[in-house]
Amino acid sequence: MADLLEIQGLTKHFPVRRGVLRRQIGTVQAVTDVSFTLKRDETLAIVGESGCGKSTLGRAILRLLEPSAGTIRLGGEDVTSLDRRALRAARKRMQIIFQDPYGSLNPRMTVREALSEPLLLHGMATPATIRGEVDRLITMCGLSAWHAERYPHEFSGGQRQRVGIARALATRPSLIVCDEPVSALDVSVQAQIVNLLQDLQRELGLAYVFISHDLGVVRHIANRVAVMYLGRIVEEAQTDQLYGNPRHPYTRALLAAAPRADPATARHKPPIEGGTPSAMALPSGCAFHPRCPLAIERCRTERPEIRAVDRNRVACHRADEPVTGTLDQAPGQGSPALLRRLAILERRRAAG
């Protein structure tokens, strides 16, 4: 199957300016030299710590942010070279679901007005057919047709996100960037939205770039996972392979930091030390080396290129060495505070 989306060397840097003359004093390297492909009906998850560049990458793919360098091909068409008019036409094929469903909807527009806007703008419906098309979209996403007459403040968070999904589907896209689509929702509602996204993918043949920090949700929905650290992809693999055999120390640390339901199996020592360096002053060599317990001198001086190791693509000088257990790769550890809260809940449940 041919690739729907091809990303080559995508880079987005932000100049930092100060003073009356707005002189540039630095550069935030939000995304640097990211490359991957995505097929139809496939979900690629982008994971990493807050500030690693996940959302910037998603917006750059859609040219909501203009890339500093690199190429984006959607269905073989070079999106990066399109002018404004051609880009508007291409936007029918690529849409986004935002993290905050309330902030992404106009509070002064009813749902019907919000869904009618992209349909009329792109010529997907006429005034005679617009009502039926909006009703189709809203019911496809699990709401009733009468919900279309309401305003955003009259919905719950999960219902608003369903409206956001319906709006993304309005132009019948082939690619949807899901930017933390369930992180602002209750856990029970998260499952409903994830199941809805999977049902729509099967029904409509959609491809997803799924941005998230929730490793449990990612494991459930993604076919492949790419791990980002300070603007670069450090590991990419099929989901089962990455969770079962992570090769990069940062990936193993992320999996070790994920909360576990059973506090008895948790560890109390943080899997990695220190904080994330500034994107304005990246470390030399491998950006992860100041926090990596496996770092050697080569890591401090030479940046690793991404390469194939087993069935993973990894940017690490030591990725092909046997895993020594220095970092516990089993997913499930959380912070001591979280573990204490879980233990209290478990004792209360046992006591009835």
- Return d(Cα 21, Cα 97) in angstroms, integer: 38
The pLDDT assigned to 265 comes to 56
Q: Between the CA of residue 128 and those of 116, 125, 133, 134, 214, what are the distances in Å?
A: 12, 8, 10, 12, 43
- Return d(Cα 49, Cα 37) in angstroms, integer: 22
Task: Using only the alpha carbons of the chain, give its radius of gyration.
Answer: 22
- Is residue 225 within 8 Å of 47, Cβ to Cβ? yes
> What does DSSP say about strands 43-47 and 207-211: parallel, antiparallel, or unpaired?
parallel
From 226, 252, 249, select the one nearest 239 (Cα to Cα): 226
The pLDDT assigned to 99 comes to 87
> What does DSSP say about strands 3-18 and 69-74: parallel, antiparallel, or unpaired?
antiparallel
The pLDDT assigned to 101 comes to 77
The 8-class DSSP code of residue 96 comes to: E
- Is residue 189 within 8 Å of 158, Cβ to Cβ? yes
Domains of the chain in start order, with CATH, are: 40-59+77-228 (3.40.50.300), 231-261+283-351 (no CATH)
- Is residue 325 within 8 Å of 250, Cβ to Cβ? no
- Return d(Cα 244, Cα 230) in angstroms, integer: 24
The amino acid at 26: G
The pLDDT assigned to 346 comes to 47
Residue whose entry in the numeric block shows the structure tokens 């007005």: 113
Q: Between the CA of residue 104 and those of 12, 29, 91, 121, 165, what are the distances in Å?
A: 23, 26, 17, 18, 11
CB atoms within 10 A of CB 143: 19
In Å, the largest CA–CA distance within the chain is: 69
Strand partners, 233: 228
Torsion of CA 186, 188, 190, 194, to 10 degrees: -170
**Secondary structure class of 44 (helix, strand, coil):** strand
- Return d(Cα 200, Cα 145) in angstroms, integer: 18
- Return d(Cα 39, Cα 4) in angstroms, integer: 5
Backbone CA torsion sign across 205, 210, 216, 222: positive
Residues in the chain: 352
**Secondary structure class of 265 (helix, strand, coil):** helix
The amino acid at 132: G
Backbone CA torsion sign across 330, 332, 338, 344: negative
The pLDDT assigned to 262 comes to 61
pTM of the model: 0.86
Per-residue pLDDT of the chain in tens (352 residues, 90 and over written 9): 678 999 999 999 999 999 888 898 899 999 999 999 999 999 999 999 888 999 999 999 999 999 999 999 999 999 999 998 899 888 899 999 998 878 888 899 999 999 999 999 888 888 889 999 999 999 999 999 999 999 999 999 899 999 999 999 999 999 999 999 988 788 888 889 999 999 999 999 999 999 998 888 899 899 999 999 999 999 999 999 999 999 999 999 888 877 766 655 555 555 677 778 888 889 999 999 999 988 899 999 999 999 999 899 999 999 988 765 444 444 443 334 433 443 444 455 455 5
From 135, 226, 166, select the one nearest 181 (Cα to Cα): 166
From 99, 123, 12, 102, select the one nearest 63 (Cα to Cα): 12
HEC string of 92-113 equals: HHEEEECCCCCCCCCCCCCHHH
